[in-house]
Structure 1
Amino acid sequence: MWKFTLRRILIMIPQIILLSILIFILAKMMPGDALTGMIDPNVSPERLEELREKLGWNDPWHIQYADWVGGLVQGDFGQSFRFKMPVTELIGERIVNSFWLSVATLIFTYLIAIPLGILSGRYNDSLLDQTITGYTYLGFATPLFIFALVMLWVFGFMLGWFPTSGSVSPGSEPGTFAYVMSKINHLILPAIAMALIATVNTVQYLRSEIIDTKQKDFILTARAKGASESRVYNRHILRNSLLPIAAFFGYEITFLIGGTIFVETIYNYPGMGLLFFESITLRDYSVVTAVVLLFGVAAILGALLSDIILSLVDPRIRIK
């Protein structure tokens, strides 16, 4: 087990290095920079060019990359020219909101997906199963940003059950109970919007696992020995069907990364996804590269976590 984990970590290191190179090169290939299109008419093009030369933006890309990586090693992601603050501090302010939004989304996802998957698999080919399967097909066909907009319009604007923007009500004092409840109230709607789409994969996979497990020999043997139906499901079918679901926990991180970009932008929720969108529109590429790198590392770590969990569930997949 430890050999497998160490081998996967060693494979992950060149992936992160290659990812950082691609991110940096693509950012440099994008048109303009943080000084492009400055509103102040008193700043001449010559002065802007002097600033670019002073900041090293005219250096060869490999020199700029080496300087960038040197800053990353020291925990310095550079300076945000649009937000007028260090990128590290800016990300520190936003990443907390995205973390709690992701946690809430995962909780809602499994609270919805596991019961639906169990019911659909246990009563397959029934009307209940067809209804749940229809929901999953609808979820597969519905883009997340469309569904999030509909949820915002219905539950935010029409019914007024949830706030329509922000992460906390203005004037709330940090550390108070009202502040905590306001934070929770602001993240429920975007979390549910993401969770209802994220559940469809888990529901379908769990349904297939239960149906497949019901037909295996050890289940037929348990029934032949006179075991009750509830015991067969609880002690044999569910136990063997739920374990592979744990392996997909890491891959849920990848969905959350893409989902937060759309959902946080739609709900104006101040997290990493909204920061990424704002930085692109403002050409604040020091922030863009830092956010994309963190997203990429999170996705790689999610895949590593899934592989480790899957190796615990099924030791046969471990590399010898």
Structure 2
Amino acid sequence: MWKFTVRRILIMIPQIILLSLLVFIIAKAMPGDALSGNVSPDVDPQTLEELREKLGWNDPWYQQYGRWAKDLLQGDLGTSYKYKMPVTELISQRVINTVWLSLFSLVFIYIISIPLGIISGRYNNSLADQVITSYTYIGFATPLFIFALVILWFFGYYLGWFPTGGSVAPGLEPGTFEYVMSKFNHLILPSLAIALISTVGTVQYLRNEIIDTKEKDFILTARAKGAPESRVYNRHIFRNSLLPIAAFIGYEITLLISGTVFVEKIFSYPGMGQLFLESILVRDYTVVTALVLLTGVATVLGALLSDIALSIVDPRIRIK
């Protein structure tokens, strides 16, 4: 296992280098810069051009990339032109909120999807299976941002059960019980909005795997030997049906991080997704490239995590 992990990490190095190069080139190819539309129209265009020259924005792209990559290796992601502060510090203020939102969403996804997938697969073609399948079809057809808006309006504004914005109520002291409960209360609605849509894929995977596994020869053999039905499902069908879920757990995490972009904007949740959209609008490309690069690195790490999880769940797989 450790040989496989080391080999995959070595393969990840050129992948991350190529990713950083592509992210930088695409960001530089986008129209405008941090000074476009963000300064007074009375400022002399010649002054703006001199400032761009001073900042090195008129240099060839490979020179700019070289400086950026050098700073990146030293842990310096640059300076935000909007917030006038280091990007590393800016992201560190937001990343914990996105991590908590992703973790809560992931917990809700598996709490919802695993029971529904088991019921739908074990009792396929029943009324319960038809209801669950209809739910997954609706989930596949509904855009996340539309569903999030409906959830926000119904539970936030109409019923008033949950806060409609922010990550914590103002005026609370960090570390107190009220502060923790307020953070938890602000997380429930956006994480449920993500989970109720994202869970449909996991339900379908688990349902199909259970149905397919029920027809395998080793299941028929176990039943022929007189094994109790509960043991057949718990030890044979369910365990083998978990393979697709284990295989996609790493990708699920990275998809959640990228999928929180619109949800954070809709719920005014101060995370990396909201920061990403705000940075694009003001052309703060230093922040944009840093966030895209971090998401790409998280995706590569998620692929590694998925392979490791799959080899742990399925003892028949031996990756050398």
Q: What TM-score comes out, normalization by structure 2 length?
A: 0.96
Task: State how far apart, in whole Å, the 2-side matches of 1:249 and 1:25 are.
Answer: 31
Question: For residue 32 of structure 1, what is the aligned residue in structure 2?
Answer: 32
**Where in structure 2 are the equivalents of 1:19-98 lying within 5 Å?**
19-98=19-98
Task: State how far apart, in whole Å, the 1-side matches of 2:122 and 2:98 are.
Answer: 36
Task: State how far apart, in whole Å, the 2-side matches of 1:92 and 1:237 are.
Answer: 43
- Please give the per-residue CA displacement for 1:152-190, whole angstroms capped at 9, x wherever unaligned: 111111111111111111111111111111111111100
Please report how far the alpha carbon of residue 28 of structure 1 lies from its aligned counterpart in structure 2 after TM superposition. 0.6
Question: For residue 220 of structure 1, what is the aligned residue in structure 2?
Answer: 220
Q: Structure 1 unaligned runs (5+)? A: none
Task: State how far apart, in whole Å, the 2-side matches of 1:310 and 1:234 are.
Answer: 18
Question: For residue 168 of structure 1, what is the aligned residue in structure 2?
Answer: 168
Task: State how far apart, in whole Å, the 2-side matches of 1:280 and 1:67 are.
Answer: 22
Q: Equivalent residue of 2:38, what SS? A: coil
Please report how far the alpha carbon of residue 216 of structure 1 lies from its aligned counterpart in structure 2 after TM superposition. 1.4
- Please give the per-residue CA displacement for 1:210-239, whole angstroms capped at 9, x wherever unaligned: 111111122112211222211211222112
Q: Retained in 2: the 8 A contact 1:169–1:182?
A: yes
Question: For residue 231 of structure 1, what is the aligned residue in structure 2?
Answer: 231
Task: State how far apart, in whole Å, the 2-side matches of 1:194 and 1:165 are.
Answer: 15
Question: For residue 14 of structure 1, what is the aligned residue in structure 2?
Answer: 14
**Where in structure 2 are the equivalents of 1:69-218 lying within 5 Å?**
69-218=69-218
Q: Retained in 2: the 8 A contact 1:244–1:313?
A: no
Task: State how far apart, in whole Å, the 2-side matches of 1:191 and 1:134 are.
Answer: 22
Task: State how far apart, in whole Å, the 2-side matches of 1:38 and 1:9 are.
Answer: 41
Q: Equivalent residue of 1:193, what SS? A: helix
Q: Quick one: structure 1 residues 79 and 21, their matched pair in 2 at CA, closer, same or farther if it must change by over 3 Å?
A: same
Residue identity opposite 2:293 in structure 1: L
Question: For residue 300 of structure 1, what is the aligned residue in structure 2?
Answer: 300
Task: State how far apart, in whole Å, the 2-side matches of 1:15 and 1:145 are.
Answer: 31
Please report how far the alpha carbon of residue 137 of structure 1 lies from its aligned counterpart in structure 2 after TM superposition. 0.7
Q: Retained in 2: the 8 A contact 1:117–1:206?
A: yes
Identify the range of structure 1 (301-310 vs 160-169) with the bigger mean alpha-carbon deviation.
301-310
Q: Retained in 2: the 8 A contact 1:168–1:186?
A: yes
Residue identity opposite 1:67 in structure 2: R
Please report how far the alpha carbon of residue 108 of structure 1 lies from its aligned counterpart in structure 2 after TM superposition. 0.2
Q: Equivalent residue of 1:145, what SS? A: helix
Task: State how far apart, in whole Å, the 2-side matches of 1:141 and 1:217 are.
Answer: 36
Q: Equivalent residue of 1:83, what SS? A: coil
Q: What TM-score comes out, normalization by structure 1 length?
A: 0.96
Q: Retained in 2: the 8 A contact 1:112–1:199?
A: yes
Q: Retained in 2: the 8 A contact 1:152–1:267?
A: yes
- Please give the per-residue CA displacement for 1:5-40, whole angstroms capped at 9, x wherever unaligned: 222222221111111111101111111111112343
Q: Retained in 1: the 8 A contact 2:247–2:309?
A: yes
Q: Retained in 2: the 8 A contact 1:98–1:271?
A: yes
Please report how far the alpha carbon of residue 262 of structure 1 lies from its aligned counterpart in structure 2 after TM superposition. 0.9
Q: Percent identity?
A: 75
Task: State how far apart, in whole Å, the 2-side matches of 1:281 and 1:243 are.
Answer: 41
Aligned length: 320
Task: State how far apart, in whole Å, the 1-side matches of 2:243 and 2:205 are.
Answer: 12
Task: State how far apart, in whole Å, the 1-side matches of 2:27 and 2:257 are.
Answer: 19
Please report how far the alpha carbon of residue 265 of structure 1 lies from its aligned counterpart in structure 2 after TM superposition. 0.8
Q: Structure 2 unaligned runs (5+)? A: none
Task: State how far apart, in whole Å, the 1-side matches of 2:36 and 2:105 are.
Answer: 38
Task: State how far apart, in whole Å, the 1-side matches of 2:289 and 2:157 are.
Answer: 35
- Please give the per-residue CA displacement for 1:244-269, whole angstroms capped at 9, x wherever unaligned: 42221101023213311110011110
Q: Retained in 1: the 8 A contact 2:38–2:282?
A: no
Task: State how far apart, in whole Å, the 2-side matches of 1:191 and 1:45 are.
Answer: 46
Task: State how far apart, in whole Å, the 2-side matches of 1:294 and 1:27 are.
Answer: 14
Q: Retained in 1: the 8 A contact 2:117–2:203?
A: yes
